[in-house]
Amino acid sequence: MTPGQVILIIAAVIVLILLFSNIRVVPQATQYIVERLGKYRATWDAGLHVKLPLIDNIVKKITIKEQVLDTPPQPVITKDNVTMQIDSIVYFHIFDAKLFTYGAVDPIFALGNLSATTLRNIVGELSLDETLTSRDIINGKLTFTLDEATDRWGIKVTRVELKNIIPPAEIRASMEKEMKAERDRRQTVLEAEGHRQAVITRAEGDKQAMILAAEGERDARIARAEGEAKALLLAKQAEANGLKALKDAQPNEAVLELKKYDALIQMANGKASKLIIPTDTVQAVKKNVLFTETTGLGDVTPEGEDDPIPEVEDPCCERFENE
């Protein structure tokens, strides 16, 4: 092998070593910032890339996945001069690797400080009660302000959440007392409402019972009245039918007299009833053979006299007379 061939082989090996040593594979959701001779050259996305040896340099590897910045608790003074400890969580991702690399010296540190100062400004305009009850408002204002301020850093703030709001110990004690008083008040109101509902329900039940009893008594009276009216109607119809049948039979005077005295007999059924019968009426009845045989009022045959009871002499009296 000639010296020229050896040199050629060595040169080829050196080229291959340099080539393979400058091949870079960028992972998914990652970007590389490449500088050429100290100046920004390109941003490499995920895939296979080759840089020029000794000329190109990878200065920063940036992940574009969403990240979380958990800021430590910090003192915040409210509008009514109450100092509270508040910490927040910032969700963000890098949308421009070049701006993130050259926009600020330490963008993450700058984002944390900006979040703290913005939180102080927002809470300083609110009272204690508004701060405790306005988490959504504070989160929205923080998100809008931080997202607008970090655009030039290549950072997109997607969401900000207040993690903890810790008021002073005396405020927490007062809040616990207030909460207990509120719970006691609600319990009293609920008990009173329950008692009122029970009284109303009981009164409604009594009212319904009285209404139903009155309706039942009314229906019973109506039913009794209808029954009595129907019975009276049937009696009158029967009496009318009897009179009609009697009229159709064309009775003689004897039958009519008998009907009269039938009516008198029915009238005399009472305990205190007295009948005064005229003499001419009795004489007319006596002539009626049918009435005489039926009632015995016209019977003039004298009743037989009872046999006299024989007198028995008292032997005691006779003995005294003989002495």
Helix %, strand %, coil % of the chain (to 5): 60, 20, 25
Is residue 239 included in any domain, yes or no?
no
User: What pLDDT, in 10s, does the model give residues 189-206?
Assistant: 999 999 989 999 999 889
* pLDDT tens sequence across 229-254: 888 888 888 877 877 776 776 666 66
| 23 and 108 share one domain | no
pLDDT at 141: 92
Determine the Cα–Cα distance for residues 127 and 82; give it in Å rounded to an integer.
8
Answer yes or no: do 159 and 76 share one domain: yes
Q: Which of 93, 99, 21 shows the shortest CA–CA distance to 60?
A: 99
pLDDT at 5 over 50: yes
CA–CA distance, 60 with 101 (Å, rounded to integer): 7
pLDDT for position 284: 55
Residue 318 lies in a domain: no
- Answer yes or no: do 83 and 144 share one domain: yes
pLDDT at position 246, please? 67
Same domain flag for 147 and 103? yes
In the structure encoding, which two tokens stand for residue 58, read together?
A: 């990878």
- 236 φ, ψ (degrees, to nearest 5): -65, -40
Q: Are residues 57 and 96 in the same domain?
A: no
**Domain-ending residue, one of 115, 147, 167:** 167
| 126 is a domain residue | yes
* Other Cβ atoms closer than 10 A to 309: 6
pTM here is 0.54
Q: How far is CA 87 from the centre of its chain?
A: 40
pLDDT of residue 301: 47
- The closest of 140, 29, 37, 131 to 86, measured between CA atoms, is 131
Q: For residue 126, is pLDDT > 70?
A: yes
The answer to whether residues 72 and 161 belong to one domain is: yes
Which of 109, 140, 167 lies at the terminal end of a domain, its last residue? 167
> Does residue 23 sit in the same domain as residue 110?
no
CB 286 within 8 A of CB 298: yes
Same domain, 88 and 160: yes
Number of structural domains the chain divides into: 2
Domain of 12: which CATH number? 2.30.30
Q: Nearest-CA neighbor of 167 among 175, 178, 156?
A: 175
Query: Which pLDDT value is given to residue 299?
Result: 46
Give the C-alpha separation, 104 to 101, whole Å: 7
Token duo for residue 265 = 């007999």
Q: Is residue 159 part of a domain?
A: yes
Cross-strand pairs, 67? 92
Do 98 and 160 fall into the same domain?
yes
How far apart CA 50 and CA 148 sit, in angstroms, is: 36
Asked if the structure places residue 103 within a domain, the reply is yes
Domain boundary (63, 87, 103) is at 63
The number of C-alpha atoms within 13 Å of 215 and in the hemisphere containing its C-beta is 6
SS3 35: strand
Tell me whether residue 36 is in a domain.
yes
pLDDT at res. 274: 57
Between these two residues, 76 and 249, which has the higher pLDDT value? 76
By mean pLDDT, which of 7-11, 111-115, 180-184 is the weakest? 7-11
**311 in any annotated domain:** no
Whether 106 maps to a domain, the answer reads yes
Structural domain for 58, as ranges: 3-63
Residues 45 and 94 in one domain: no
CATH number at residue 115: 3.30.479.30
Query: Which three-class secondary structure string do you get for 47-89?
Result: EEEECCCCCEEEEEEEECCCEEEECCCEEEECCCCCEEEEEEE
Q: Could you tell me which of 4, 69, 6, 65 has the C-alpha nearest to residue 31?
A: 65
Cβ–Cβ contacts within 10 Å for residue 233, how many?
Answer: 10
Of the candidates 20, 28, 131, 136, the one whose C-alpha atom is nearest the C-alpha of residue 84 is 131
Q: What is the mean pLDDT of residues 7-28?
A: 81
Is 75 in the same domain as 154?
A: yes
